Amino acid sequence: MLAGYATLRNSGSEAVSVIGIDSNAFESVEMHRTEEVDGVSRMRPVAAIEIPPGGEAVLEPGGLHLMLIQPRQPLAEGDTVILRLRLTDGRTVDAAFPVQRNAGEDPHAGHGHHHH
Ligand SMILES: [Cu+2]
């Protein structure tokens, strides 16, 4: 499993929320938030990621992130995967994510390696 990190920007004048993510590159993509509870970090699915008008939502280790489940093909560092973000207003936005090893310290990020 891979974890996805990015900064999502909203240049519009109204808040938008990402309510789902599709990708041809993965069996499924989930949105998660890592929370620390009694010193143990756990991740929980979130239904939406809200981006304020003129603002951004940061997907980062230890916070909001994407779980990229079951790549349809092996991915290597330097590859780019396209994720299609579904927004509350019905729009979709394609975002390109570069594949990196060890993108962060999130305990779940460590599962993102593909061994050949
Ligand atoms: Cu997760």
pLDDT digits (tens, 9 = 90+) for 80-111: 999 999 999 899 989 888 887 764 444 444 33
What are the backbone dihedrals phi and psi of residue 108, each rounded to the nearest 5 degrees, phi first? Answer: -80, -15
- Could you read off the pLDDT of 3-35 as tens digits, one per residue? 888 899 999 899 999 999 999 999 999 999 999
Q: Where are the domains of the chain?
A: 2-104
Distance (angstroms) between ligand 1 centre and the Cα of 54 equals 26
Distance from the alpha carbon of residue 2 to the mean position of ligand 1, in angstroms: 9
Distance 26 CA to ligand 1 centre (A): 15
How far apart are the C-alpha atoms of 28 and 89, rounded to whole Å? 22
Q: Is the pLDDT of residue 112 over 90?
A: no
- Report the top-level CATH class of 2-104: mainly beta
d(CA 111, CA 43): 14
Ligand 1 mean position, distance from CA 111 (Å): 10
Give the distance (Å) from ligand 1 centre to CA of residue 32. Answer: 5
> Bridge-partner residues for 31, per DSSP?
66
| Residue 102 confidence (pLDDT) | 64
